[in-house]
């Protein structure tokens, strides 16, 4: 199907010779792109009416916003190291794929996976980019060179079987043809009752409950390692070793660079850390059997957004009421959310 886009103005545009409301056409643009329809735009025009006649940016900007989770500028976290730190500290992310359905598999599938994050190689240059929100919504951080998420999944998982089937038919490559998302969430989250809105509740009564939370969404392209090749074996070995080392380290055990063994027979002083468990502590034949029961997943990260929804949009009096309400519950989780609300109020 071919779409001829022309006559774009502030209020309408022409598609295949028929005028349509501009807002309606923009709403369907993401769907058209998903279907990969052939669209042609009119050549650039000159003259005083050119800017009002042709404005392709409406499609690009709307699509960029709508590709990612809803994110008001007031809730946006734009400091990239903060986003990467949240992923590193909370590596269990929800992988979501949308693959054309078959009689055996549905369109949408989800799997929780612990990930290893490889940060972008251009982190310093990305930090220098102006991330000031432009308009009511915040666009994602793009251009993350070399940023990857590495994980694995049980081969018996129907999601893994669908990934194998989808990538086995892509002309000999192992890359999934559709974009994937991974969502990470911090443990700090809490229901917010209107009872705590001490300012607006008294002034107008126009209040409703909400939920405070912290989340990061990653989008990218996936490569699947599922065959019996040496490359797949090496990828899985490296991934499980890196994941184990990071996870053991977060528990406080002593890890060593490159997966080298600490001397487990040496005396451990009272103040020293215990040595971490490592993959090669288990019998090698057993590890090889376990590797054959999983597939490897590698995501080249294309965009990342962070959402710290912590009452920033409320009036000052309401925020104070929320903080008092949370701290008054005398619960560890409530206190942690109150601390973030305080930090985000400045």
The pLDDT assigned to 69 comes to: 82
Nearest to 84 by CA among 116, 57, 51, 54: 116
pLDDT above 60 for 28? no
pLDDT above 90 for 280? yes
pLDDT above 90 for 298? yes
334 is written with which tokens? 């409530």
Collect contacts of 35-43 with beta carbons under 8 A, ≥24 apart: 37/1, 37/2, 37/3, 38/1, 38/2, 38/3, 39/2, 39/3, 39/4, 39/5, 40/2, 40/3, 40/4, 40/5, 41/5, 41/6, 42/5, 42/6, 42/7, 42/8
pLDDT above 90 for 85? yes
pLDDT above 50 for 48? no
* H helical segments located in the chain: 22-27, 29-34, 50-53, 57-66, 80-89, 123-127, 158-168, 200-203, 230-250, 284-291, 316-327, 332-344
Second-level CATH architecture of 68-256+274-344: Roll (2.30)
The pLDDT assigned to 338 comes to: 97
Parse the chain into domains and list their residue ranges: 2-65, 68-256+274-344
Arithmetic mean of pLDDT, 285-295: 97
Contact call for residues 223 and 235 (beta carbons, < 8 A): no
- Tell which wins on pLDDT, 87 or 172: 87
279 is written with which tokens? 């993959």
Residue 137's SS3 state is strand
DSSP assignment letter at 110 = E
pTM above 0.85, yes or no: no
- Tell which wins on pLDDT, 134 or 52: 134
Which range (75-79, 130-134, 217-221) has the least confidence?
130-134
Arithmetic mean of pLDDT, 162-188: 87
132 by Cβ neighbours in 10 Å (0-12 / 13-18 / 19+) ranks as exposed
296 by Cβ neighbours in 10 Å (0-12 / 13-18 / 19+) ranks as buried
Nearest to 96 by CA among 185, 179, 175, 161: 179
Neighbouring residues of 324: CB distance < 8 A, sequence distance ≥ 6: 196
Arithmetic mean of pLDDT, 53-62: 37
Percent of the chain with pLDDT over 90: 62
């Amino acid at each position: 199907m071919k779409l001829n886009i022309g006559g774009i103005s502030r209020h309408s545009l022409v598609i295949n010779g028929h005028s349509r409301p501009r807002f309606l056409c923009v709403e369907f643009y993401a769907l058209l792109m998903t279907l990969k329809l052939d669209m042609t735009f009119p050549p650039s025009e000159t003259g005083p009416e050119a800017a009002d006649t042709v404005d392709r940016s409406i499609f690009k900007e709307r699509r960029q916003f709508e590709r990612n989770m809803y994110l008001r500028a007031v809730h946006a976290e734009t400091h990239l190291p903060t986003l990467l730190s949240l992923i590193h500290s909370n590596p269990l992310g929800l992988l979501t794929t949308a693959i054309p359905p078959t009689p055996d598999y549905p369109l949408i599938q989800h799997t929780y996976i612990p990930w290893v994050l490889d940060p972008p190689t251009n982190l310093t240059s990305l930090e220098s980019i102006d991330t000031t929100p432009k308009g009511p919504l915040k666009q994602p951080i793009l251009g993350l060179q070399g940023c990857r998420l590495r994980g694995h999944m049980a081969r018996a998982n129907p999601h893994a079987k669908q990934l194998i089937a989808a990538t086995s038919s892509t002309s000999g490559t192992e890359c999934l043809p559709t974009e994937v998302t991974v969502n990470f969430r911090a443990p700090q989250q809490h229901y917010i009752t209107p009872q705590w809105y001490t300012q607006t509740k008294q002034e107008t009564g126009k209040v409703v409950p909400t939920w405070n939370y912290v989340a990061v969404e990653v989008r990218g392209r996936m490569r699947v390692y599922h065959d019996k090749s040496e490359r797949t074996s090496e990828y899985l070995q490296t991934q499980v070793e890196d994941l184990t080392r990071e996870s053991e380290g977060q528990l406080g055990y002593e890890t060593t660079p490159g997966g080298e063994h600490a001397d487990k027979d040496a005396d451990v002083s009272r103040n020293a850390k215990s040595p971490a468990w490592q993959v090669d502590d288990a019998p090698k034949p057993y590890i090889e059997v376990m590797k054959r029961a999983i597939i490897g997943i590698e995501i080249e990260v294309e965009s990342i957004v962070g959402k710290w929804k912590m009452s920033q949009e409320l009036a000052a009096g309401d925020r104070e009421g929320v903080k008092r309400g949370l701290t008054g519950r005398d619960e560890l989780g409530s206190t942690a959310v109150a601390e973030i609300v305080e930090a985000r109020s400045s």
